[in-house]
Amino acid sequence: MNQSHSGAASRRLFSSVAAFTLVALAAGQAAAADELNALVWCDHTDPALIEPFEKANDVKVNLKEYEGTGAGLSILEQSQPGDWDVMVVDAVDVHRVIDMGLLGEMPADALPTADIFPELRMEENNTKDGKTYAVTEKFGYNTISFDKTKVDPKDMEDLSVIWSDKYKGRIALYDYYLPMIGLVQLGLGKKTADLSNADMPAIEEKLSAMKTVSKQVSDVVSSQTALATGEVDILVGGGEWITASLAKDKPELDWIVPKQGAVRWAQSIGVMKDSKKPDLALKFVQYILSPEGQARLATSSCYWGMPTNQKAGEHLADEQKKALRWDDQPAYLKNTQLYPIPTAELDQKMQDAWTNMMQQ
């Protein structure tokens, strides 16, 4: 009896140990050897982009998504040095992050700078004192998206349409003050780079007019939904990043760069100064900038945008290139300007103007 009892106990013990070992082995096989923490925009969260890197390097990439540099800096302020390895940031804000001592230097010869569109190399933004801290990885335009079956496309060629009465109640405004105020500045016939405190009264007046004729002020998802469902016919601040991914199902949606120009957005990627895995982080940056990584990033599920690496074209289908207007880029690049880069004081004024406009 005792022997039998002891045998049963041994079997149970063996089963338990075997089960534990199997689970541990399975977990060991499933778990990646290393981890990388990346603070990114939503386009980097597409598994089609991240999984090839994870598999090739046996690494788990932990992604934290944010929108707007302020939000990204908030996250960093609440983190410990070394928590983050890689950061994606608005190209015009790279210096802000460098000055805070958050971005680390990357070896210039390890980056495919020569393959990047010359206008997108943006040395004045991505480098400081001859050192490279970030590389532009994707770009596009904040301009006018519209339903060409419901509005006259000719009207969209003039930026003044965004505050005219003609399409009152049929316009959505993209809820991001920087490119929107940049667009207004262009509409007023001025350069985004020259935007100063003195321009704000005229800009506020135009923002007020825009609010009066608009139906809503919305984030990316709501803007896209509003345009796709016909709730609005025009999205001010939209561009290929809103319409390209809908091109198949909604061929009536289009976008244009008006004669006064449009605002060009660009996002950069860099390695964090206090990263505990700088080599792996650099490898990730290199992957994102590779032609394959660039093609995947350009057509990411969250939003599409132009890749900065010219060689990415070899990995994009003709339809994808058409939706991105690949062949029109030289002309668009000439007629677009970067986001305004405000001082802290001007930035607050711009945000106040935007909040006042929403509360109008």
Partner 1 sequence: MTTATLEQSEHRKAWGLVAPALLWTVAFFVIPFLYMAAMSLWSRQGREILRVWNLDNYARFFNESALLRGLTNSLEITLTVTVLSVLLAYPLAWIIAERVPKRWQRMALILAILPFWTSYVVRSYSWLLVLSKGGVINQALLGIGLISEPLEIASNRTATVIGFVHFFVMLLTLTIYSNLIQLSPNYRRAAADLGANAFQTFWHVILPLTLPGVMTGAFLTFVLCIGDYITPQILGGNNELVLPQIIMLQIGRRADFPMAAALSIILMLAVTAAYVLCARWLKIERA
Give the number of residues in contact with partner 1, rule: CB under 8 A. 32
Q: Which of 52, 68, 112, 313 binds partner 1 (CB under 8 A)?
A: 68
Q: Taking CB under 8 A as the rule, does residue 216 contact partner 1?
A: yes
Report the DSSP beta bridge partners of residue 138. 267, 307
Site for partner 1 in 312-351 (CB under 8 A): 344-345, 348, 351
Three-class secondary structure of residue 277 per DSSP: coil
The closest alpha carbon to 49, from 151, 138, 125, belongs to 138
The closest alpha carbon to 65, from 302, 266, 321, belongs to 302
Contact segment (CB under 8 A) with partner 1 among 124-132, 213-221, 251-259, 317-325 equals 213-221
Angle between helices 278-289 and 291-298 (to 10 degrees): 70
Q: Taking CB under 8 A as the rule, does residue 79 contact partner 1?
A: no
Q: Taking CB under 8 A as the rule, does residue 249 contact partner 1?
A: no
Q: Which of 3, 229, 259, 318 binds partner 1 (CB under 8 A)?
A: 229
Query: Which residue's CB is nearer to partner 1, number 298 or number 357?
Result: 357
Q: How far is the CB of 74 from partner 1 (least distance, A)?
A: 4
Greatest alpha-carbon pair distance for the chain in Å reads 97
Contact 30, 5 (CB under 8 A): no
Q: Taking CB under 8 A as the rule, does residue 253 contact partner 1?
A: no
Joined together, the tokens standing for residue 185 give: 């500045």
Binding mask 88-117 for partner 1 (x = CB under 8 A): --------x---------------------
Contact 139, 266 (CB under 8 A): yes
Q: Which of 67, 123, 152, 205 binds partner 1 (CB under 8 A)?
A: 67
Q: How many CA atoms are closer than 13 Å to the CA of 281, on its beta-carbon side?
A: 29
Binding mask 276-315 for partner 1 (x = CB under 8 A): ----------------------------------------
Contact 126, 103 (CB under 8 A): no
Q: What is the DSSP string of 113-164?
A: GGGB-HHHH-HHHHEETTEE--EEEEEEEEEEEEETTTS-GGGGGSGGGGGS
Q: Taking CB under 8 A as the rule, does residue 205 contact partner 1?
A: no
Q: Which of 115, 231, 252, 292 binds partner 1 (CB under 8 A)?
A: 231
- Residues of this chain that bind partner 1 (CB under 8 A): 67-68, 70-71, 73-74, 77, 96, 169, 175, 177, 215-219, 221-222, 225-226, 229-231, 344-345, 348, 351-352, 355-356, 358-359
